[in-house]
């Protein structure tokens, strides 16, 4: 298959960000290339962070005076990938802000946050440091354990009646990053762009450890020991996707064989998200 050009690499990738008040990581993936001759259409697939009513630094902040900005997205569906305890602690108001239907597909594994397993291990000294290799293993383990949840999410996005849709977790980094990477792989986006889209969170939300620094220093732990947990190392996403190739054959094989995804859903996903690439 002839590889198509990647028109959104490097600086152009930042054009995907939607500058909604109170948010930093909301993006419209319109224009991302897919299989030859096709690209994601405008206002089909968005990704972002949780939107809440309090001023916690790690999430988007909702103010009702900006409701028209959010409603202008035209969202029909919001996919919330956070665990049930996260939802109880911080209610997402994306559906209230946009009028979209909320679909909860909990994935318990989360990286950035105040009470994840990794945070607890770092604070207790059980884990001296969180390294890039830990992030890679975290992603591979999550993919193995949550295949049916990812399959269910792809099924929602494959239904054109549910679009436009926005996917979020807490920071829009790990669980959202994995799901969006799977979707982009399924539609044929070049892997270099899949990985760069994941890494863009680190550009839009830089130095995230600063928001949690006191949590670690109060426990006598050097915050740098946890820095990687809050970052988006490209190598970890590359290796996680390579793991799916090596273990299952491809992302599609992984979701069909392990995630209960119906093969026809792959065609539905492409039909719902893609439009022809304009000719020059």
* Tens-digit pLDDT profile for residues 85-123: 888 888 899 999 999 999 999 998 765 555 567 888 898
Quick one: average pLDDT of 216-232? 91
Q: Is residue 198 domain-resident? A: yes
pLDDT score of 276 more than 70? yes
pLDDT band with cut points at 50, 70 and 90 for residue 55: low
* DSSP-assigned states of every residue in 175-217: HHHHHHHHHHHHHT--HHHHHHHHHHHHHHS--GGGGGHHHHH
CATH number for the domain including 65? 3.90.190.10
Q: Is residue 11 domain-resident? A: no
pLDDT for residue 245: 98
pLDDT score of 137 more than 80? yes
Q: Is residue 8 domain-resident? A: no
Q: Is residue 59 domain-resident? A: yes
Q: Is residue 18 domain-resident? A: no
Query: Could you tell me the pTM of the whole model?
Result: 0.92
Q: Is residue 151 domain-resident? A: yes
How many structural domains compose the chain? 1
pLDDT for residue 11: 40
pLDDT for residue 111: 58
Range of the domain at 55: 23-276
Q: Is residue 271 domain-resident? A: yes
pLDDT band with cut points at 50, 70 and 90 for residue 198: very high
pLDDT band with cut points at 50, 70 and 90 for residue 13: low
pLDDT for residue 49: 94
Q: Is residue 195 domain-resident? A: yes
In terms of phi and psi (left: phi > 0; alpha: psi -120 to 50; beta: otherwise), the region of 79 is: beta
pLDDT band with cut points at 50, 70 and 90 for residue 7: very low
Quick one: average pLDDT of 55-71? 83
| Rounded percentage of the chain residues whose pLDDT exceeds 70 | 91
pLDDT for residue 130: 93
pLDDT score of 262 more than 80? yes
């Amino acid at each position: 298959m002839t590889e198509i050009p990647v028109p959104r690499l490097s600086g152009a990738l930042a054009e995907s960000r939607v500058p909604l008040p109170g948010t930093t990581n909301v993006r419209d993936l319109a224009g991302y290339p897919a299989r030859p001759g096709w690209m994601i259409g405008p206002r089909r697939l968005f990704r972002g962070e949780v939107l809440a009513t309090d001023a916690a630094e790690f999430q988007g902040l909702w103010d009702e005076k900006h409701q028209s900005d959010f409603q202008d997205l035209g969202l029909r569906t919001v996919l919330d990938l956070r665990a049930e305890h996260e939802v109880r602690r911080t209610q997402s108001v994306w559906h209230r802000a946009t009028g979209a239907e909320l679909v909860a597909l909990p994935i318990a594994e989360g990286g950035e946050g105040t009470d994840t397993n990794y945070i607890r291990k770092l604070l207790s000294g059980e884990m001296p440091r969180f390294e890039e290799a830990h992030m890679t293993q975290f992603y591979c383990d999550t993919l193995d354990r949550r295949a049916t949840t990812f399959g269910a999410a792809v099924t929602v996005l494959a239904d054109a009646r549910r679009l436009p849709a926005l996917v979020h977790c807490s920071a829009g980094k790990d669980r959202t990053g994995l799901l969006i990477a799977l979707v982009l792989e399924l539609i044929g986006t070049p892997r270099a762009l899949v990985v760069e889209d994941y890494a863009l969170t680190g550009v839009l939300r830089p130095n995230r450890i600063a928001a949690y620094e006191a949590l670690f220093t109060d426990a006598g732990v050097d915050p740098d020991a946890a820095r990687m947990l809050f970052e988006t190392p490209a190598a970890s996403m590359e290796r996680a996707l390579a793991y799916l190739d090596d273990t299952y054959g491809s992302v599609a094989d992984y979701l069909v064989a392990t995630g209960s995804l119906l093969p026809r859903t792959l065609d539905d996903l492409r039909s719902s998200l893609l439009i022809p690439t304009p000719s020059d």
